[in-house]
Amino acid sequence: MIGIELTSIFEPEQKETAAQLAEKTGIPEQIIKEKFGLVEKRITNKEMHASDLAIAAGRKILEKVDPKQIDVVIYFGSPYKDYQVWTASSKIQYELKTTNAYSFEMMNVSSCFPLAVKVAKDMLSSDKDLNNILLVGGSKESQIINHDNPRSRFMFNFADGGAAVLVTKDATKSEILSSSIITDGSFSKDVLAPGGGSVHPVSKEVVEKNMQYIDVPDPKSMKERLDPVSIPNFVKVIEQSLEKSGVPLTELKVLLPLHTKKSMFREILDTVGLEENQAIYLTHHGHMSALDPCYGLYFAEERGLLQKGDVAVIVSAGTGYTWAATAIRWFG
């Protein structure tokens, strides 16, 4: 049975509170807590980067599994990594001593974890020589926010962390079911870091204009186009992942989403018929690119939220714009 057998996270020690974020952004502390659902977030030191955060999470799994039993290492974390034009996965494979594994990367910003779980399942299904795949991700996206930019400072919840899961053919804890994915490329230029790529290579102008930070060129236009489709697409991929798995929506027990503003979180839960105690909401961690649903899965197991036979859905969305969901049956 192909499933997720082990999960791990790495939480940087340093915290940034809602009060500190309010001082940086000019957004009232209570709004940050109540509307954006953020009490605090984790940020890492200057020495740790996306690859290091992923390695720290991966090591926790390899305390329980022989690194030489890993066949593939897949990096699914933030595209904001240690260096440009560089594969973090190669460093991760080497540092984790997974010497029998090959490695590669998947990058679809925040939507990538449900996609990576699907890809790992499909690879294990199609290749008889593969038995164990380690998914690892890191996020240091607290560094890409310009708190002085009114167009993008609402992304103050971007945070740092590491996460990993072991997907195996010999799973005893869970079974990966089906997935659903929607991409709407009309949003492809709505959120980006304009400087540092081939359109605007690194230059004095890029630095002077803070173009290396993430930006939203036209927030009003994006909101007008995104608001009508965002929650319907979240719900659609959740429902379709269950339908393709042969599971009625009424049997969904746990939802593990990315960190969104509180109103969106509640509306998604209401629409699929769940209560807040049937989901993980990262009030003390923030948004860590693709890592959020992996954190949710880790905390759901740790807190006893998943019972034998329960069906959970990991769901996320990433700018670009892609919505993705993968259903999992838990055996515990």
Q: Are residues 70 and 127 in the same domain?
A: yes
Q: Sheet holding 311-318: strands in order across?
A: 174-183, 322-330, 311-318, 252-257
Whole-prediction pTM: 0.97
Q: Whole-angstrom Cα distance, residue 252 to residue 233?
A: 17
Asked whether residue 23 is assigned to any structural domain, the reply reads: yes
Q: Whole-angstrom Cα distance, residue 202 to residue 243?
A: 47
What confidence score (pLDDT) does residue 332 get?
77
CA distances to 46, 141, 157 from 17, rounded to whole Å, are 19, 16, 10
Asked whether residue 233 is assigned to any structural domain, the reply reads: yes
Task: Give residue-wise pLDDT tens across range 122-168.
Answer: 999 999 999 999 999 999 999 999 999 999 989 999 999 999 999 99
Q: Whole-angstrom Cα distance, residue 51 to residue 300?
A: 25
What confidence score (pLDDT) does residue 28 get?
96
Instruction: Please report which confidence band the pLDDT of residue 21 belongs to, taking 50, 70 and 90 as the band edges.
Output: very high
Alpha carbon 273 to its chain centroid, in Å, reads 23
Please state, rounded to an integer, the average pLDDT across all residues of the chain: 97
Q: Are residues 16 and 164 in the same domain?
A: yes
CA dihedral of residues 72, 75, 81, 83 (deg, nearest 10): 30
Q: Are residues 255 and 135 in the same domain?
A: no
Q: Can you give the CATH number for the domain in which 38 is found?
A: 3.40.47.10
Domain boundary among 138, 172, 206: 172
- Look up the domain containing 248 and give its range: 176-188+217-330
Task: Give residue-wise pLDDT tens across range 62-96.
Answer: 999 999 999 999 999 999 999 999 999 999 999 99
If you write DSSP's letter for every residue of 271-327 in order, what string do you get? HHT--GGGB---TTT-B-GGGHHHHHHHHHHHTT---TT-EEEEEEEETTTEEEEEE
What confidence score (pLDDT) does residue 118 get?
98
Is residue 16 within 8 Å of residue 142, measured between CB atoms?
A: yes
Q: Are residues 141 and 240 in the same domain?
A: no
Q: Are residues 133 and 254 in the same domain?
A: no
Q: Are residues 168 and 64 in the same domain?
A: yes
Task: Give residue-wise pLDDT tens across range 216-227.
Answer: 999 999 999 999
Beta-carbon contacts of residue 3 (< 8 Å; ≥ 6 apart)? 167, 168, 171, 172, 173, 174, 175, 176, 328, 329, 331
